[in-house]
Structure 1
Amino acid sequence: MVQRVTVDLKSGESRDDYAFGLTSLTQDRATPEQLLGIARGHWEIENCNRHVRDTTFHEDHSQVRTQNGPHMMATLRVLAMSILRLTGVKNIAKAGRHFAASARETLRQIGF
């Protein structure tokens, strides 16, 4: 069980949230600290990838819905994020705006 306390920034009201999980690890193979690390690792992936894909690339609002289109677009978004991260970019949204404004800079970034 993981207990989370969230606070509404506008009202200041707090709320307890509980998440339950199952594991095949035995008690001697996974301490509570290790299990918490696994749970946090999941959210790190969520925040680094899916959150950026939705907020920066507006993936949930995509009109691409047929055949291989959705999968291909998701792959291209992940590729763009990976290229930016490999070149040291920390703010994907800011970099996206910068490269959208300059085709020459974009091509130089990928080696052309």
Structure 2
Amino acid sequence: MKDGAIRDDYAFGLTSMTKDRATPENLLGIARGHWEIENRNHHVRDTTYHEDLSQIRTENGPRMMATLRGLAMSIMRLIGVKNIAKAGRDFAASARKTLRQFGY
């Protein structure tokens, strides 16, 4: 806090783990794992692909587009891409460069 005061924060949760397995370390690992997925996938989908702003809303369209975005992200990660947004722009700008990445 700005005034230098210390505060305690509490978080409550419910788990089916036994008392022996529900250690603070294990529970923290589970929480961090959740946020890793959020940051690695959903954040990229929202910021790079603007998925939340999509106008596709009928039938299987939203699910198909989410699948295609996920496939594109997975392929880029498999070939070692670190910046999905930049790679997406590069691939969109040059079909030849994109195909070279895949050995064609």
TM-score, length-scaled by structure 2? 0.86
- The alignment status of 1:53 with 2:27, answered yes or no, reads no
The structure with more helix, counted as a fraction of residues: 2
- What are structure 2's unaligned runs of at least 5 residues? none
Aligned length in residues: 100
For the residues of structure 2 that align with 1:40 and 1:30, how far apart are their CA atoms?
15
Tell me which stretches of 4 or more aligned residues in structure 1 moved more than 6 Å. none
Give the 3 Å change call, closer, same or farther, for CA 22–109 of structure 1 in structure 2. same
Aligned to 1:10: none
Given candidates 90, 93, 106, the residue that maps to 2:85 is 93
1:20 CA drift (Å): 2.6
For the residues of structure 2 that align with 1:18 and 1:59, how far apart are their CA atoms?
33
Given candidates 76, 79, 84, the residue that maps to 2:68 is 76
- The alignment status of 1:42 with 2:34, answered yes or no, reads yes
1:100 CA drift (Å): 1.1
Give per-residue Cα distances to partners, 1:10-59, cap 9 Å, x unaligned: xxxxx986543210111112211110000000000000000000100000
Aligned to 1:22: 14
Give the 3 Å change call, closer, same or farther, for CA 18–63 of structure 1 in structure 2. farther
For the residues of structure 2 that align with 1:18 and 1:56, how far apart are their CA atoms?
33
- What are structure 1's unaligned runs of at least 5 residues? 8-14
Measured on the aligned residues, the alpha-carbon RMSD in Å equals 2.2
Percent identical pairs in the alignment equals 81
